Amino acid sequence: MSGIRHLAAFADLGAEQAARVLGLAHDYKRHGAPALLANKTMGLLFADPSLRTRTSMDQACFRLGGRALGLDVGAGTWKLEVEDGIRMDGDKPEHVREAAPVLSQYVDGIGVRAFSRSGTVDEEDADAVLQAFKHHATVPVLNLESAREHPCQGMADMLTIEEEFGGCRGIKVALSWAPHIKRLPRAVPNSVLLSAAAMGCEVTVAAPVGYELSPGVIAQAEQLAAASGGRVVQTNQQTDALDGCQVLYAKAWGATADSAPPDDPALAEWMPRLSHFDRADPAAVFMHCLPVRRDVEIAAEVLDSRRSRVVSQAGNRLYVQMALLAWLFEQ
């Protein structure tokens, strides 16, 4: 099985290959792409709903001359057992020990979307579903958003920053928590942080007490930043992050199930408004991965302003995913 590439986590890619992938993505966006996936089928397993990822991945395969086959796993619940040594008398009728090698015989690569179920730090850190597929599949495995990471999103965001500023190195990114009516997964902020740190951004992660990202993700980002010449700073004050930022990347995420911070009405102030840009760099742009709840998570006035890059950012998913697929199937 040596020689097979996976992208279950950013660590499978690494900073050097990430830079190459971004170069490819720019190239595909400008000049189109060769038929690198001719006669190839990516099986895309969705244990959770998806509109954007499903559409952009399907088109990414198609533009590379291949195709995607979308497969829904259960109805909103993950029906595959991934734990070893368990007596399977619960609601999961199939084990990944069979499912992954069987699917590997039908398709040329397997994409997997599987959000966190428990919402604990331990589950986020272990990312068991993606790791199990990586272990048992005999074809490349691609993370379409897992308990811990959403690498396609993080990489698309770096493409957007490169387009905006000509590069990522030294760009001051405020990665700011935002309010929401639900406890959302943390895979997107995790992946934005990891990608930005690896590409040399100076990232300030701002979140209220009790909403900090997990220590494991922060530690990995700090290592990546140390190698890239970037920087990772954490704060509980949103203003610390806004000061002079060139990118305000705001995103709602939940506390982990381990910590339950009190519902504080004052947190609504974290919702970015145009006035949040008063302290920012004059040319600062606004980013968000979508979908977004207007005037709950982000003020409509920001989304509709000239600062917003949310639409082109989503558009970049297509080109980054083409480049990631090209990398995944490289000899």
Contact residues for a copy of itself, defined by CB under 8 A: 41, 43, 51-52, 54-56, 58-59, 62, 67, 69, 71, 73, 75, 81, 85-89, 93-95, 97-99, 101-103, 105-107, 181, 290-296, 300, 303-304, 310-312, 314-315, 318
Nearest distance, CB of residue 300 and a copy of itself, angstroms: 7
**Shorter beta-carbon distance to a copy of itself: residue 1 or 181:** 181
CA–CA gap between residue 136 and residue 120 (Å, rounded): 24
**Shorter beta-carbon distance to a copy of itself: residue 132 or 225:** 132
Nearest distance, CB of residue 331 and a copy of itself, angstroms: 21
Among candidate residues 194, 206, 204, 196, the one with its CA nearest the CA of residue 232: 204
**Shorter beta-carbon distance to a copy of itself: residue 94 or 330:** 94
Nearest distance, CB of residue 87 and a copy of itself, angstroms: 4
Edge-to-edge strand list for the sheet holding 141-143:
67-72, 41-46, 109-113, 141-143
CA–CA gap between residue 241 and residue 270 (Å, rounded): 12
**Shorter beta-carbon distance to a copy of itself: residue 81 or 124:** 81
**Shorter beta-carbon distance to a copy of itself: residue 50 or 235:** 50
Nearest distance, CB of residue 114 and a copy of itself, angstroms: 14
Distance of CA 327 to the CA centre of its chain: 17
Number of alpha carbons in the 13 Å side-chain half-sphere of residue 23 = 7
**Shorter beta-carbon distance to a copy of itself: residue 104 or 228:** 104
> DSSP E strands: which ranges in the chain?
41-46, 67-72, 80-81, 94-95, 109-113, 141-143, 172-178, 202-206, 231-235, 247-252, 285-287
CB 206 within 8 A of CB 238: yes
Q: What share of the chain is helix, strand, coil (3-state, %, to 5)?
A: 45, 15, 40
Nearest distance, CB of residue 189 and a copy of itself, angstroms: 17
Nearest distance, CB of residue 73 and a copy of itself, angstroms: 7
